[in-house]
């Protein structure tokens, strides 16, 4: 049955979807302190300023809030710098550039709104004495800010079809500015690309996928350097994240609607071919590749949650061994009421049904990010209906980037 999805687990900016592992019953129904400019001593590299040798920080310890467009400048008056760190617990550490002779350090990444930064700088005076300085400043809070809900979570192991997906809680008008601050690296390296879309609820979303499925054992890192990024209209990002995850075994499943079978393979070797029953006429199972979103051992299936009423209405009560494939409600699950139809008749309302024992076996094989491809059906699953990314050819996918 095509069922209303269970809510995305841990749907927060820092906590993505996770697989359910325990039995559950889920109803599927900052003052500037003096402004530095290109002509100021702070921007010169001569270190020949009047006064005693010292490290000067701009902005300094002030009560007024620093605008997020301000650069941080640290100057060794009458000497040189040896180390500089400017950091905040949330946004992280600012990058910066050194002047010739290392008498001036200037930040090169934007400040995050509403953040308190600590400056720690060390150096030496021209006479050889040690210089050090610690200072703090706080930036202006953004009148409007955005965050991205990202998947998968840090430290997880996912399937070969799992994209990196970020959905934003505010409209992203300057998509290029945001995309420039997102980076995915992999070992071994892959050819990959970002592509923008609208999520099913209308929010701006960007996914990253490789040209082909990830290789098992690949280590992937997502870097989100969004703190201080203007997404357009004065909406600023606040996130600095480094998210590492790993690709597990290649568990791939192919459902043939005509043959009424599902063939499951692991790392290229066929494990089993199961007899299934898919969607009947007018309720056909989506064609194309879907990606496992979650698993729950028990769920209540009620057709009213997906808008099916009248003669086709159903309430199946608690259904076992449920593998969610789309937010619109496509599952692979046990369907004992269809006993006798598996491999013979397609009799569901869009889900992939099988015997209870086969459903339990399938449930135990698959994990978040594994692909399930349906062939010989109709109406290819939409790109934003879960992770339908693989139904877009590679050249078309790349055109979804906001960068040239």
Given 30, 173, 333, 349, which residue is catalytic?
333
Of 397, 361, 127, 119, give the one whose Cα is nearest residue 262.
Answer: 361
The secondary structure of residue 21, as a DSSP letter, is -
39 burial via Cβ count (<10 Å: 0-12, 13-18, 19+) = exposed
Q: H-type helices in 52-180, by residue range? A: 175-179
* Whether the bond into 75 is cis, omega within 30 of 0: no
Is the Cβ–Cβ distance between 227 and 146 less than 8 Å? no
Q: What is the spatial distance between Cα 284 and Cα 256, in angstroms, rounded to a whole number?
A: 12
DSSP notation for 141-161? PPSSEE-EEEES-TT-EE-TT
Of 272, 279, 270, give the one whose Cα is nearest residue 341.
Answer: 279
- Say how many C-beta atoms besides its own lie within 10 A of residue 258's C-beta: 10
Q: What is the spatial distance between Cα 389 and Cα 150, in angstroms, rounded to a whole number?
A: 16
* Whether the bond into 59 is cis, omega within 30 of 0: yes
Known catalytic membership, residue 333: yes
97 burial via Cβ count (<10 Å: 0-12, 13-18, 19+) = exposed
Could you tell me what percentage of the chain is helix, strand and coil, using 3-state DSSP and rounding each to the nearest 5? Answer: 10, 40, 50
Angle subtended at Cα 206 by Cα 203 and Cα 212, rounded to the nearest 5 degrees: 140
Q: What is the spatial distance between Cα 371 and Cα 114, in angstroms, rounded to a whole number?
A: 41
Q: What is the spatial distance between Cα 47 and Cα 102, in angstroms, rounded to a whole number?
A: 10
Which residues are annotated as catalytic?
333, 351
């Amino acid at each position: 049955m095509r069922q209303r999805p269970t809510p995305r687990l841990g749907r927060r900016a820092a906590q993505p979807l996770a697989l359910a592992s325990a039995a559950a019953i889920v109803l599927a129904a900052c003052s500037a302190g003096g402004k530095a400019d290109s002509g100021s001593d702070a921007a010169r590299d001569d270190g020949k300023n009047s006064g005693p040798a010292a490290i000067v920080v701009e902005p300094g310890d002030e009560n007024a809030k620093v605008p997020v467009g301000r650069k941080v400048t640290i100057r060794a008056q009458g000497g040189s710098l040896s180390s500089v760190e400017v950091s905040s617990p949330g946004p992280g550490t600012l990058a910066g550039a050194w002047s010739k002779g290392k008498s001036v350090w200037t930040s090169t990444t934007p400040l995050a709104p509403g953040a308190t930064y600590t400056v720690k700088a060390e150096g030496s005076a021209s006479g050889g004495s040690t210089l050090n300085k610690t200072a703090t400043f706080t930036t202006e809070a953004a009148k409007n800010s955005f965050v991205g809900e990202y998947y998968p979570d840090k430290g997880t192991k996912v399937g070969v079809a799992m994209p990196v997906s970020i959905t934003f809680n505010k409209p992203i008008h300057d998509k290029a500015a945001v995309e420039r601050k997102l980076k995915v690296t992999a070992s071994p390296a892959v050819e990959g690309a970002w592509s923008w879309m609208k999520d099913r609820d209308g929010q701006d979303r960007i996914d990253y996928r490789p040209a082909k499925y990830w290789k098992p054992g690949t280590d992937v890192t997502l870097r989100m350097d969004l703190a201080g990024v203007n997404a357009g209209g004065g909406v600023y990002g606040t996130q600095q994240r480094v998210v590492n995850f790993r690709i597990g075994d290649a568990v791939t499943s192919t459902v043939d609607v005509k043959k009424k079978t599902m063939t499951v393979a692991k790392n290229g070797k066929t494990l089993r071919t199961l007899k299934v029953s898919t969607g009947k006429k007018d309720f056909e199972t989506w064609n194309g590749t879907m990606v496992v979103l979650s698993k729950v051992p028990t769920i209540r299936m009620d057709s009213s949650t997906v808008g099916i009423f009248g003669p086709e209405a159903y309430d199946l009560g608690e259904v076992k061994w449920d593998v969610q494939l789309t937010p619109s409600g496509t599952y692979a699950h046990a369907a004992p009421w269809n006993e006798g139809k598996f491999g013979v008749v397609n009799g569901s309302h869009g889900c992939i049904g099988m015997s209870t024992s086969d459903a339990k076996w399938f449930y135990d094989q698959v994990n978040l990010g594994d692909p399930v491809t349906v062939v010989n059906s109709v109406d290819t699953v939409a790109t934003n209906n879960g992770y339908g990314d693989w139904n877009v050819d590679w050249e078309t996918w790349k055109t979804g980037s906001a960068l040239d």
